[in-house]
Structure 1
Amino acid sequence: MVAAAGGHRAMNSLGKQGSHYLVFGAVQWLLDWGVMVGLSHLGLPVRQANVAGRVCGALIGFWLNGRFTFAGEDTTLGRVQFVRFVLLWLATTFLSTWMIGAVDDYLGLKWAWLAKPLVEVVLGLLGFLVSRHWVYRR
């Protein structure tokens, strides 16, 4: 009975984390995408605009996810978690920028704008797993 209750709590936690991550991820993504599209529309190369957008999204995402999504007894929001977050962010930003840049190179800017949501959803799933099991852990 105890194992079942613990498993039930873990599923509730996963469901709660998943729903928070989706909501906060949508906020981050809208900010990220809006900055990337706006800056690239104004003439900034898409790779630089993508990085600027991801910085804006990251600034709000680290705090929201650390404070609400992954908050618990075995998690914290401190210097170690911030360093882990930065490492994850650097890796995903490199991948995102490389993919968006490739789309821009081969298909053009408007296709890069359209590709960004798909790229970020895939990276967001990876980010959820890494954040849940590594970034915000004590």
Structure 2
Amino acid sequence: MPLLRQGSQFVAIGLLQLAIDWAVFVATTAAGLPATPANLLGRVSGAMFGFWLNGRYTFAGEDGSRLGWERFVRFWLLWGAMTALSTVLLVAVEDGLGLRGAWLAKPMVEAGLAAANFFLMRRLVYR
């Protein structure tokens, strides 16, 4: 079943992206960078890796990988919307619970957004 295969690959790649994203976020905020630019830097780091892997493997068609400039533009538009939402949520957590709270919340915020992102990527980016 394509949905199950795609879903499991998306989760595996997403976990790798999250590890990169979270590590960059924690390292840069610990070094004194505010949460907003640190979240942006972390998400860019993970996103480049994820775009390539998901296009090459997760959402590849019978004709091969689904990459290219058109998909790259759609990916970045969706990524921008998800990053804005992620940043708003993390800044709210940081304001309420402090920096360590934001560090702990980051994986949960990103996991929540990943479910919506999977279906949006399938329909809008890698179609």
TM-score bracket, normalised by the shorter chain, equals: over 0.9
After TM superposition, the structure 1 stretch with the greater mean CA deviation from structure 2, 67-76 or 107-116, is: 67-76
**1:115 CA displacement:** 0.8
Residues 71-118 of structure 1, C-alpha deviations (whole Å, 9 max, x = no match): 014872111111110001000000000100111112100000111111
What RMSD in Å do the two structures reach over aligned CA positions? 1.2
**TM-score normalized with structure 2 length:** 0.95
Which residue does 1:92 correspond to in 2? 82
* Distance in 2, Cα, partners of 1:109 & 1:76: 38
In structure 1, which of residues 22, 29, 33 is the aligned counterpart of residue 18 of structure 2? 29
**1:133 CA displacement:** 1.2
**TM-score normalized with structure 1 length:** 0.88
Which residue does 1:60 correspond to in 2? 49
Residue ranges of structure 2 left out of the alignment (5+ in a row) = none
Aligned positions, number: 126
- Whether 1:121 and 2:117 are equivalent positions in the alignment is no
Q: Name which one, 1 or 2, has greater alpha-carbon Rg.
A: 1
Residues 12-69 of structure 1, C-alpha deviations (whole Å, 9 max, x = no match): 1111101100110000000000000010001000111111000000010000000000
Which residue does 2:96 correspond to in 1? 106
* Distance in 2, Cα, partners of 1:16 & 1:106: 39
